[in-house]
Amino acid sequence: MPQPLPSDRPKVGPLAALAATVLLAACAAGAAAQEVPGVEGKDRLRELQARYAASANEKLPRAYHFGSQGPGDVFSNHRSHSNRQVAVYTFGRRIDLSAVTGSNSRYRDAGRIEEVYGRLPENTLNPEADYADQSDLYRVLKDAAGRGVKHLFLVWFDGMDWPTTRAAAIVKSGKVYDEGRGSGLFFQDYTAGGSTQYGYVVTSPTHDFTVQDVDRQVVTVPGNSLPGGYDAQIAGPNPWTLGPLGPKAPGYFKGQNANAVDKAGVLDAGRILHAYTDSSQSAAEIVSGVKSYNSGLNVADDSRIVPTLFHQLQEQGWKTGTVTSVPFNHASPAGMYAQNVERDDYQDLARNMLGLPSIIQEVRGSKLYPGLDVVMGTGYGIVTTSSSLKMQGKNGVAGPLFITDADRAAVDVRNGGKYVCVHTEPNAEGGKVLRAAAAEAARSKARLFGLFGAKGLDHLPYRTADGRFDPAPSLNSKGLPAPAEAYSPTEVLAQPTLVDMAEAAIEVLTAEPEKPFILFVEAGDVDFALHANNLDNAVGAVHSGDATVRAIASWVEAHSNWDESAMLVSSDHGHYLVLDDPKALIDGK
């Protein structure tokens, strides 16, 4: 159930953008650390990550591992999402998480479960459920707007579940906790004047996979697609407690990726597997209330095109924006506004988000929305390959993957478009370049499109657990050690931070202060790091997102209040991180 915190809160001052000298020093320190990897006592989590990646296939005791294999085994047997519940934090006196949790949980009622899944999934009804469904957060957000909230923030940590949050908090605070909301991160400790609430949600989709026709924009669900659901007898009543059958069936969390041993454990427990979600449908359902299949964006199982809260509020005069540390039209930010049967049809998603006609208008006659007021993320310098071009459908254009040159030119104010466009300038400070563009957009009452990143870098540089830009090695898609990412000081300097992006978005969205706004901000690289089984990168990405929550709270305290502003912090899904020895993240051998 939601757990309000005490009314005391830390003092929060304005969070200024990082100075160039600080970035250069941090990156230089990171480069020095990479020259002498695994230095004990200097960067504990990086040292552990490097050691575990190098010995990934050895059966050894470790502080943490990924997957269902248990402690003292190989480092990883799973590099994708899981069926774990994810936490939700709300801030503001007009946003009410308790309306969908505790005694109001839909998982206590068979009919209400069937409403979102289209059927009653096996082993999913739980008369004692405290958790909500992820689709219920649409109602929480919509009701907040209806109660008079004028500034609505949705902060998304892609891939972050309870164990990842716990790891990031332990590393930051040096203290270990074992249950509940925990403490150590800003969004855990901040109370917003005593208004904060805490709960958790089920993230499962309706189906694992479908057959999508990108050119016709229709979808078919095959009979062998694994259905979704949530079995609390295995997965537990909350994110930190296994159900009574959990020890028998650890492979349940792996859903459609369960191996033979995983499946046998679930079968021996007398239960069935349920599909885990992907980011696209999960993010989409939080702003549409419609649960659907994996890989789609605001298209239902029956090919019905679904509007989102961003569309609804925009039609009521609200301004809208999305900001992310990964490609600007990646699954989660695209889920706020775009409509497409396939999350990887990036060029059409860009058109959706920027108000240009796309394939779904051409072949389905879908409504053409005017586009978001702020669109910001990475993707600059990434070009199509033969496989990614195929995913764009028949209207795909070779060249830049995430937005075509023609479309980028069409939206630019210099060519009569609506957006002040800004992108990576290799020899300039990214934060400074972005702030200048945001000031221009605010001054001229224009929109803002920020496209950052670089060739070979489809996310902002990882500022890792120690605060330096010194990633440890990861695992590749085959579970083998992969070299650590490395950045030069000038490469880091050329990129804004997530805080820079959020503050620039707020400047543009508040240029007409009489207009309310909704802003989505995503630390999307948490997910990228966890897919690579890299806890050092993931913790650093959580800290980056946490700093952004602090910056938003600072803006609210300076320019608004928690009656007219509200913030929801959550995630689309978890991974399968297991902390075998949490204390070892901060000390020990």
Q: Span 479-503, mean pLDDT?
A: 96
Average pLDDT over residues 98-105: 98
Strand, coil or helix: 455: coil
SS3 readout for 184-201: CCHHHHCCCCCCCEEEEE
Q: Which of 124, 123, 115, 130 is nearest to 290 (CA)?
A: 115
Per-residue pLDDT band at 587 (split at 50, 70, 90): confident
What pLDDT, on a 0 to 100 scale, did the predictor assign at position 496?
Answer: 98
First to last CA, the chain: 38
Mean pLDDT over 411-438 rounds to 97
pLDDT, tens digit, for every residue of 362-379?
999 999 999 999 999 999
Please report, for the domain that includes residue 477, its CATH number.
3.40.720.10
Summarize the confidence of residues 5-25 as an average pLDDT.
Answer: 35
pLDDT band for position 8 (cuts 50, 70, 90): very low
Burial 433-443 (b: 16+ CB within 10 A, else e): bbbebbeebbe
Residues noted as catalytic: 279
Q: How many CA atoms lie within 13 A of 20 on its CB side?
A: 11
Confidence of residue 519 (pLDDT cuts 50, 70, 90): very high
Is pLDDT of 205 > 80? Answer: yes
- Predicted local confidence at residue 40, as pLDDT: 37
Cα 55 from chain centroid (whole Å): 29
Print the SS3 string covering 283-310. Answer: HHHHHHCCCCCCCCECECCCCCECCCHH
- Does the annotation place 345 within a ligand binding site? no
> Of 85, 53, 18, 430, which is closest to residue 231 (Cα–Cα)?
85
State residue 319's pLDDT score.
98
Does the pLDDT value for residue 225 go beyond 60? yes
**Burial 345-359, CB ≥16 within 10 A → b, else e:** bbbbbbbbbbbbebb
Asked if the model's pLDDT at residue 397 lies above 80, the reply is yes
Q: Does residue 572 have a known ligand-binding role?
A: yes
For residues 453 and 30, the model is more confident at: 453
Please check the confidence at residue 34 and state whether its pLDDT lies above 80: no
Domain that holds residue 162: 86-230+274-575
The 3-class secondary structure across 379-441, one letter per residue, is CCCCECCHHHHHHCCCCCCCCECCCCHHHHHHHEHHHCCCEEEEECCCCCCHHHHHHHHHHHH
Residues 6 or more apart whose Cβ sits within 8 Å of residue 278: 81, 205, 294, 295, 331, 343, 573
- Note whether residue 69 is domain-resident: no
pLDDT of 29 > 90? The answer is no
Residue 152 falls in which region: left (phi positive, over 0), alpha (psi -120 to 50) or beta: beta
Looking at residue 589, its pLDDT comes to 46
- Residue 330 marked in a binding site: yes
According to the annotation, is 65 in a ligand binding site?
Answer: no
Residue 292 forms part of a structural domain: yes
Count Cβ atoms within 10 A of the Cβ of residue 482 and give its class: 0-12 exposed, 13-18 middle, 19 or more buried. Answer: middle
79 within some domain: no
Q: How much of the chain, in percent, has pLDDT values that exceed 70?
A: 93
Kindly indicate the confidence band of residue 13, based on its pLDDT and cuts at 50, 70 and 90.
very low
Asked whether residue 419 carries a pLDDT value surpassing 90, the answer given is yes
Q: Would you say residue 431 lies in a domain?
A: yes
Q: How many domains does the chain have?
A: 1
Half-sphere exposure for 566 (CA within 13 Å, toward CB): 27
Q: Are 409 and 415 in contact (CB under 8 A)?
A: yes
Torsion angle (degrees, nearest 10) of CA 320, 93, 526, 586? 150
Q: Is residue 583 part of a domain?
A: no
pLDDT tier at 588, thresholds 50, 70, 90: low
For residues 187 and 546, the answer to whether their CB atoms sit within 8 Å is yes
Q: What pLDDT is stored for residue 42 in this prediction?
A: 73
Indicate whether 558 belongs to any domain. Answer: yes
Residue 389 located in a structural domain: yes
How far is the C-alpha of 427 from the C-alpha of 435, rounded, in Å? Answer: 16
Q: Does the pLDDT of residue 41 top 60, yes or no?
A: no
Q: Give the pLDDT mean for 323-345.
A: 98
580 located within any domain: no
Residue 573 marked as a ligand binder: yes
Maximum CA extent, the chain: 65
